[in-house]
Amino acid sequence: MWVQPVQFKIHCQADMTHWPFDTQTGVLKVGSWVHSTNVINLTDTAHEIEIVSPHSEWQILQVSSEKITKFYSCCLNEPYNHVEYNITINRKTSHHRSVVFIPALCTALLNLLVFWLSLDDRCKLIMSLFNALIVVVILQVLYSKIPLTLSTVPLIAAYYAYSLGLIVSTAIISVMVKNMILTQKSLSKPISSIVQSRLIEFLTMEGPSSNNRTQDECKEIDLQCIEFNKRQAFAKTIDKICFVIFSIIYVILLSRFVF
């Protein structure tokens, strides 16, 4: 007896949380809605996996089957059976690693590098904007590869979304620090006392009374010059503290969403 070959297409509920390291399981249900077990009795025979044309993105991990017999309300005296094939596939990640690991590390390092640039360097804001542009492009590439009709958000997309928020925060901090240095207002007494402490000397790697201006610009020690140095020391302290905080946040994000 010649059996006509049949091609089945399975639509499974995809869970893209761990994309591109995801494993999906699709269920193929084979049975008859018309004939009962008395007419057609399906058997759970041994199944073999033969891949005629290997897929470029997916590989089959496991195929299992189960025979299920049910009684329906319309026909309580006639059992109906069907066979469910559970097909588990795994995504090949070799061509996705360059999209996941390298850009994630590079954007994190670029954002942390901003805190080590000079306080009056315009490259701080330019680097933050450039880094934000990179993250936006990566997000567009990710969503072009991932189906939009999903109930779950991939962890790697969540990482880049949080990373974009950190980059914007870095740009805001850089602008606030620069404006604080250029302002003519004096620091409050609590902040001024903190600036003159040894903690500031340790964080800024210089003495609290150091002066970055030339002797021609500050021939005599006046209040304006002292206040400028205090603001500059306080700004450097903010950068170093933000560097430590953002480093911890990036380590948590990378360990949670990427690695």
Residues 66, 83: contact at Cβ < 8 Å? yes
pLDDT more than 90, % of the chain? 14
Please tell me the distance from the alpha carbon of residue 156 to that of residue 165, in angstroms, as a whole number: 14
User: Higher model confidence: residue 211 or residue 124?
Assistant: 124
User: Residue 146: which residues within 8 A CB-CB, separation 6 or more?
Assistant: 16, 19, 154, 157
Alpha-carbon gap, residue 65 to 173, rounded angstroms: 58
What pLDDT was estimated at residue 208? Answer: 44
pLDDT digits (tens, 9 = 90+) for 86-103: 888 888 877 777 777 888
**pLDDT exceeds cutoff 90 at 120:** no
pLDDT of residue 62: 84
Tokens 């091609």, located at residue: 7
Residue ranges per structural domain of the chain: 23-91, 97-258
CA distance 104 to 141: 13
Residue 8: predicted pLDDT: 80
- Lowest model confidence (mean pLDDT) among 160-164, 177-181, 223-227, 228-232: 223-227
Q: How far is CA 79 from CA 27, 40, 69, 114, in A?
A: 22, 10, 6, 71
- Per-residue model confidence (pLDDT) at position 209: 43
From first CA to last CA, the distance across the chain in angstroms is 54
Average predicted confidence (pLDDT) for the chain: 77
Q: Which residue has the higher pLDDT, 113 or 38?
A: 113
Q: How far is CA 251 from CA 97, 128, 168, in A?
A: 19, 19, 18
Mean pLDDT of 50-76: 79
Taking 50 as the threshold, does the pLDDT of residue 215 lie above it?
no
* Burial of 53 from C-beta contacts in 10 A (0-12 / 13-18 / 19+): exposed
Average pLDDT over residues 216-227: 56
pLDDT for res 141: 84
Model pLDDT, residue 210: 44
Q: What is the largest CA-CA distance in the chain?
A: 107
Predicted local distance difference test score (pLDDT) of residue 166: 94
By the 8 A CB rule, do 93 and 20 touch?
yes
pLDDT attached to residue 40: 80
How confident is the model at residue 116, as a pLDDT? 86
Q: What is the pLDDT of residue 226?
A: 63
- For position 75, what pLDDT does the model report? 77
Q: In this predicted structure, what is the pLDDT of residue 165?
A: 93
pLDDT digits (tens, 9 = 90+) for 15-60: 888 888 888 888 888 887 778 787 888 777 656 667 667 777 788 8
Q: What is the pLDDT of residues 139-182, one digit of tens each?
A: 888 888 777 656 678 888 889 999 999 999 999 988 888 877 77
